[in-house]
Chain A
Amino acid sequence: MLHVEVAKQLGDFSVEVAFTSEGRVTGLFGASGAGKTSLVSMIAGLQRPDRGVISVDGDILDDATKSLHIAVHQRRIGYVFQDARLFPHLDVRRNLDYGRRMNRLTRDPVQETRLNDMLNIGHLLDRRPGQLSGGERQRVALGRALLARPRLLLLDEPLGSLDEDRKAEILPYLMRLRDEAGVPMVYVSHDPDELRQLASQVVMLKRGRIAAFGGPEILPA
């Protein structure tokens, strides 16, 4: 369960949002500039809210009244960025293994193989990020985030930088992850079709405020 009740001033723009979501995939929908990325980076801990509370499964990550702010690296919240952000100096194998090493987790070969199969990245392990296509990069980024064993996965327009064909290529992987990986997700998109296919609940944002909250049926056609 994800509970967000935050306010933050960013120059002329402000975000003021409150919702509680229990869905497997919570969609954050809105035009660019609606405050989606600001909200997601607050959940990740990359930005600190001016006021409010953020909690995951009852664990409080931010509470401004108590000056509580759990550091990014201690939140166990995965983040898949629009621009993959694979480490250019590491091959795919070591990119995938990065979160496990940083968190000093034991190896889980079963999980590794399962994810490699699920994302179809097993044949890319020895390559460098520069040698991957956009879609491959994004699949590796998904695997890397999941192998750090997060309790929540944030996906910030993960298909945003891909063309229509690539999007169609990645979407099935995302649906499989939703159904098989067992990690709740927050999925940011400005594309209603994408969210209709993935999200169980939708938060619709407009200029930093919630315009609507409900099932995928609230999405515009």
Chain B
Amino acid sequence: MFEISPPEWTAVLLSLRVGVVAILVATPFAIALAWALARYDFWGKSIVDATVHLPLVLPPVVTGYLLLLTFGKRGLVGGWLADHLGIVFAFRWTGAALACGVMSFPLLVRPIRLSIEAVDRRLEQAASTLGASPWQVFATVTLPLALPGILAGMVLGFAKAIGEFGATITFVSNIPGETQTISSAIYSLIQTPDGDAAALRLVIVSIVMSMAALVASEVFARRATRRLHGN
């Protein structure tokens, strides 16, 4: 019963790869955006903030369809990327990573923003009086103090990414070995006669991975508090 078959493994590993790539690529953008939202007041800030959170509330199928329109082979951005840089998203695992990155982006930005807001600006002032340039202040004070929050956001985003279904299947379909993640594999298995046992195995795997991610995220958050108090 708990023997995981090679095609199931393929789906698990693909989910992990998609999740890792999605989060690693999305994190620098999330940090930059979280920084801007935490530290600056600019025109259109609430619109930017709302747009970031949009994937959280939009039907995933809508996000997937918008991705298809934009990053599909004939999409505005997708066509250009394919012609000029040879990067193709449509029906590739990279497209799954893009979909997962977009869907988990709000979960990534929020804790990072909160942890940057929690960094004491007076420590940054102290750093600059000691000769640190603005960039050095960011790298040696702001970022390390916000790091546990960043990690918590990354883990949470990763958990979301490996479980993403709606946007991914809409954008890159459900191709075994290329775009079939755990979620879409479970979906296919449920629709196959005799697929129940295999579906259940994958369900258990996904519960275990999600739990592990949530626990890790909690641990990072607790570490953040300790770090800010300097114990």
Contacts and interface: CB of A to CB of B under 8 A. Distances in A.
Interface of A: 44, 46, 71-74, 76-79, 81, 83, 85-89, 98-99, 102-103, 128-131, 144-145, 148
A86 B137 CA distance: 14
Nearest to A91: B230
Contacts of B125: 46, 72, 85
Contacts of B130: 73, 78, 98-99, 102-103, 144-145, 148
Given A102-B136, A131-B231, A89 B145 contact: yes
Contacts of A88: 123, 145, 227-230
A130 B123 contact: no
B229 A130 contact: yes
B129 A128 contact: no
A45 B119 CA distance: 21
Given A98-B127, A99-B130, A102-B132, A85 B228 contact: no
B127 A89 contact: no
B230 A81 contact: no
23 contacts: A46-B125, A72-B128, A73-B128, A73-B131, A73-B132, A76-B131, A79-B126, A79-B129, A81-B122, A83-B122, A85-B122, A85-B123, A85-B125, A87-B126, A87-B141, A89-B144, A89-B145, A98-B130, A98-B140, A102-B133, A102-B136, A128-B230, A130-B230
B231 A85 contact: no
Contacts of B133: 71, 73, 102
Nearest to B226: A130
Nearest to A75: B129
A139 B144 CA distance: 24
Contact of B127 (A44, A74, A102, A131): A102
Interface in B143-164: 144-145
A131 B230 CA distance: 8
A86 B230 contact: yes
B176 to A, nearest CB: 46
A105 to B, nearest CB: 9
Nearest to A98: B130
Contacts of B131: 73-74, 76, 99, 102-103, 148
A83 B126 CA distance: 11
Nearest to B120: A85
A72 B141 CA distance: 16
A44 B125 CA distance: 10
B129 A44 contact: yes
Nearest to A79: B129
A77 to B, nearest CB: 7
Contacts of B229: 88, 130
Nearest to B148: A89
A153 to B, nearest CB: 10
A129 B123 CA distance: 13
Given A76-B131, A102-B131, A102-B140, A129 B122 contact: no
B126 A81 contact: yes
Nearest to B133: A73
A88 B120 CA distance: 10
Contacts of A128: 230-231
B82 to A, nearest CB: 44
A61 to B, nearest CB: 13
Nearest to B125: A46
Contacts of A77: 129
A71 B134 CA distance: 10
Nearest to B134: A73
A78 B131 CA distance: 9
A11 to B, nearest CB: 19
A63 to B, nearest CB: 20
Given A73-B133, A102-B140, A145-B129, 12 more contacts: A44-B129, A72-B129, A74-B131, A79-B126, A79-B129, A85-B123, A88-B123, A89-B145, A99-B131, A102-B132, A102-B133, A148-B130
